[in-house]
Amino acid sequence: MSAIVGIHYLDGRPVEQELGRMVDILAHRGPDGADIWIDGPVGFGHRMLWTTPESLLEKLPLVSQSGDVVITADCRIDNREELISAFQLEKCPPEKITDSQLILAAYEKWGQQCPEHLLGDFAFAIWDKREQTLFCARDHFGVKPFYYYSSGQTFAFATEIKGLLCLPEVPRQLNEKKIADHFGLGGLDTTITFYQHILRLPAAHIMKVSCQGVQLQSYWSLDPNRELRLGSDEEYAAKFREIFTEAVRCRLRSAFPVGSMLSGGLDSSSITCVAQELYSNNENSKLHTFSAIHEQITECDERFYQNAVLAKGGLESHQLNTDALSPLSDLDRVLWHQDEVQSLANFYANWFLYDSASSHGVRVILDGFDGDNTVSHGTGYLTELAEAGHWLTLASEVRAFSKNLNQPWIPPLLAWMRVYGLNPLISKFFILRVLGSLRRLMRYSKRGAKPSELSNILSRDFIQRYESSNDSTKRKRPKTERESQYRRLTDPGEQNTLEKLNSAAAAFCIEPRFPFWDKRLIEFCLSLPPEQKLNRGWGRMVMRRAMEGIMPKEIQWRPGKTDHSQSFNHGLLTFERECLDDVILKHPEVIESYVNLSVLQEAYQRFLTGKATGDEAVTIWNILSLALWLRKTELSKK
């Protein structure tokens, strides 16, 4: 969780004091050292946060032995043994080889194809003096952030947007297209930010900067057509267990105490249980766990499941009663660290759990973010069965699925039959209704979720201005489970959430690590046949089987998820009623060009009485978070 910055003046101007300002403003990301390197019109900076044992030896920016190549990096490389062998470095003690040295060696060996050979989380920049080229790269899923500004003869990059805004020549202008994305009107552009002139390097991309300009290129993408066929359910489960265990193991590499988020759900519990077994050999310290609990809104409380994991032993538990917190707690500090609109509903819980982790000396946190999409509940399999007319299998799956969740199964089955069996030309309304009901059955609440439909709360003029450019509205509904899962995994919202969690953790000198965002695991899960995801009414079946004997059975066969919206709404209405009234009723000036004010205020009254729809509640939160950020930043729209 270090920080990198850099400047390249293409007109030959020398880099001077501005690089120091960039390094200074990111001091929170690197308490363990700071340094800069300047060579005429090019300069790199670095802020160091020690996490891995090798990072204790790291000195960045790093100049190659020849002096021709320089790197600054925020990285954790997971295929170290493979790379050390490829570079024939076996005679050197591996604990003395840093991750940035491996990246530099990879560049020397493979040139601009080097990211294709790396596993892990990384964002780095390399200045090649021989080629007079700045080469930048970001990891496969965008776990490590990378922002840049390019205009005229100036190119600058930084781990956080504030590292660019401290440069006088970078304009502070609002990007309203990103506001459209914020409300779900767009969402396909992975490069834009809330600032017109600041962009992000997308995940799995490289960038070359030279006198010829700026060139972006993808170096990797998921293959939505690959299918893995093994001989039995047991083989699939064993392979999942092998890959998942390795995804956790390589993220435990730390010179400091390690923690794991533990909500009690399938994702965090799987990580914690596997990590505890791997960590049990560590005689010096236990694995820490960090959990949100609910003392007042007890229907949101998951201590029954958390305690089942803690009963395994070898864990040091830390709990936080989030019912006593406002979702807007510590707002000024949050907005400073986030740089952009903070729209994740459960963000405040993470914020204070990171704070707790930091106070216990933890520098690495394992997080189960979005195991739902990596492993997949497999509901797209129902579409495949209906498309193929496999009605008996469809009926069996829908019945079992509904039974697991204690819900009626006949109505959704009849809807599927109406769509695919009796009248194939019937409106897509029924498909949407069935899929929606299934998602509600699962109580699936992803962090940062947007409303599924455009709300009439938004201004019609604003919608029309950006709706036409939203290609996602024109895409056909996926016909297979794999296509559906592929779209979810490649949705820009995933990268957005990873960035927000990254910056939140950085505020407390914490590095979050995400085992479910391991390239090997995602490629494996996407390639699975659909019946390994949904089987006998159980979503994510391959993972449930793989966790046999590792995870407590009450979690292994837990059918649904806890809906935390009641606790969130309780927090808003209990602690932030005055703020809500001020933004929506008294002083809505900063948002009135984006909303239909009368409709918003009517929806707000329903929200106050608990009668707002889910989409209305989400849109109200998105409007509130946008308004508070706009007030804080005071950006120009021109």
The alpha carbon of residue 417 and the mean position of all alpha carbons in its chain are separated, in whole angstroms, by: 37
Gap between the Cα atoms of 569 and 433, Å rounded: 25
Strands 258-261 and 287-293, by their bridges, are parallel
Task: State the alpha helices, DSSP H only, in 514-596.
Answer: 519-526, 541-546, 553-556, 565-575, 577-581
Gap between the Cα atoms of 347 and 290, Å rounded: 14
3-state secondary structure labels for all residues of 392-425:
HHHHHHHHHHHHHCCCCCHHHHHHHHHHHHHCCC
CB neighbours of residue 109 within 10 Å: 13
Rg (CA), the chain: 25
Gap between the Cα atoms of 563 and 440, Å rounded: 10
Gap between the Cα atoms of 616 and 253, Å rounded: 43
Is 99 annotated for ligand binding? Answer: yes
Altogether, the residues listed in the chain come to a count of: 638
CA distances from 138 to 57, 203, 217 (A): 23, 6, 11
Gap between the Cα atoms of 147 and 202, Å rounded: 9
Q: Which is nearest to 330 in space by CA: 582, 581, 508, 496?
A: 508
Residue holding tokens 């829908």? 398
What are residue 258's phi and psi, to 5 degrees? -115, 145
Residue holding tokens 């960590």? 279
Residue holding tokens 């040139």? 111
Gap between the Cα atoms of 143 and 1, Å rounded: 10
Gap between the Cα atoms of 513 and 250, Å rounded: 10
Q: Is 156 helix (H, G, I), strand (E, B) or coil?
A: strand
Gap between the Cα atoms of 525 and 227, Å rounded: 10
Q: Which is nearest to 588 in space by CA: 530, 630, 536, 546?
A: 630
Residue holding tokens 């570079």? 87
As beta bridge partners, residue 217 has 206
Strands 154-158 and 3-9, by their bridges, are antiparallel
Going through 10-98 in order, the beta strands assigned E by DSSP cover 34-39, 42-47, 62-63, 69-77
Gap between the Cα atoms of 351 and 331, Å rounded: 11
Q: What is the arrangement of strands in the sheet containing 147-151, beginning at the earlier edge strand?
A: 34-39, 42-47, 3-9, 154-158, 147-151, 199-200
Strands 315-321 and 287-293, by their bridges, are parallel
Residue 510: which H helix or E strand, with range?
none
Half-sphere exposure of 215 (CA within 13 A, CB side): 11
Annotated binding site: 99
Q: Binding site for L-glutamine: what residues are annotated?
A: 99
